Each structure stands twice: as structure tokens, then as C-alpha cells.
Amino acid sequence: MFVTPAHAQEAQPTEAEGTHGTEAPAETTHAGTEVPAEGHQGGFPPFDPAHFPSQILWIAITFALFYWFMKRTAAPRIGNILDARRDRIASDLDQAGKMKVEADAAVAAYEQELAEARANANTIGQKARDEAKAEAEAKRKQVEAELDGKLADAEKRIASIKASAMKDVGAIAEETAAAIVEQLAGKASKADVAAAVKAVAK
């Protein structure tokens, strides 16, 4: 155990107290008041210049140990973490680039398909219009042919009706003319009356 000068001086009066009797307490009191002032003259030990060399030595040792620990343990781990993150970021960037290329290719394919679909739609529309036009033309010709046939039949019927009506008119005219001639001139031959009616009809 270390003994400071103050404790040594305090211990001496205690022994003196046993030998000298009543005079010892005065010396003990005197020594106790003077020793603490002498013991604290250097101030706080870490700020004492006498301790600076040992403090610098321990700081250097601590720094060396900390540096060795960082170099051997912490720095490789941090480096591995940074390398892993860098590799992951590079992988993510590569994947993003590939996805962008695929997206651009998909957009280009979609635009090409859309253009082809529009062209096909225009072709189909034009074809449908042409087919509808041809079908309408064929139907129009068919209707015109049917109308021409019906018109020819109607003209034939009209001509037949007209011919039959003209025959009836001629017979009626011959009978009427014969009756008029009989009343005016007496009897008249049918041949003369027929010839006269035909001459008037022409």
C-alpha cells in the first residue's frame, strides 16, 4: 500500500500520543492542517505537466490498438459492405437498363403492330367498300334487267290490248258506219263500209 507524506505525518503523531500523553494532540492538529496544502500543490493530475509523457504514451498505444482493430476488423467489414452495395447497385442498374431496352422493344413492337393493324384495317375497309360497291352494281344491273323485262312485257301487253281494242273499235266503227249508211242511203255492202273505216283509221 502506498503512503503519502500527509498520512505519514498523521501516523507519527498517533504514536507520539501514546508516549507523550497530552502534548501529542497539538502536534497532530498542526501537522493535519499543513499536509493537505502541500499534497495538492500540483493540481488535477491529468493536467499536471509531469504526467504528460505517460499520457501521450497511452494515447499512442490506444490509437495504435484502435487503428489495428479498425484495419483488421472494422475496415474489411465496411469494405465488404460497400463492395456488396456497389455490386448490388451495379446489378440493379444493369437490370434496369435491360428492362428499359425490353420496354423500348415492346413499345416499338406495339407501334409496329398498331401500324400494321391500321394498314390492315384500311385494306379491309377498302376491300369491303369495293365488294359492297360491286354487289350494289350487280344488284342495280339485276334490277334494271328485271325492270327492262317487266317493261317489255308491259309494252307487249299494251300492244296486245291496243290491238284487241283497235279490232273492237274497227268492228264497232264498221257496224256504226253501216247503220248510218243504211239510215241515210239505204243498204250498203259490208266490204265498202270496212274499206271506208280502214281508210279513215289510217
Residue 198 is predicted with a pLDDT of 67
Residue 73 is predicted with a pLDDT of 86
Residue 45 is predicted with a pLDDT of 72
What is the pTM (predicted TM-score) of this model? 0.34
Where is pLDDT greater, at 10 or 120? Answer: 120
In this predicted structure, the answer to whether residue 20 has a pLDDT above a threshold of 70 is no
What is the rounded average pLDDT for all residues in the chain?
Answer: 76
For residue 189, being part of any structural domain is answered with yes
* Number of domains observed in the structure of the chain: 1
For residue 172, being part of any structural domain is answered with yes
Residue 187 is predicted with a pLDDT of 66
In this predicted structure, the answer to whether residue 38 has a pLDDT above a threshold of 50 is no
What burial letters (b/e) apply to 102-126, b meaning 16+ CB within 10 Å?
eeeeeeeeeeeeeeeeeeeeeeeee
Share of the chain above pLDDT 70, in %: 66
The residue segments making up the domain with residue 173 are: 166-201
Residue 26 is predicted with a pLDDT of 42
For the packed helices 190-201 and 75-185, what is the interaxial angle rounded to 10 degrees? 140
Where is pLDDT greater, at 67 or 2? Answer: 67
For residue 145, being part of any structural domain is answered with no
For residue 135, being part of any structural domain is answered with no
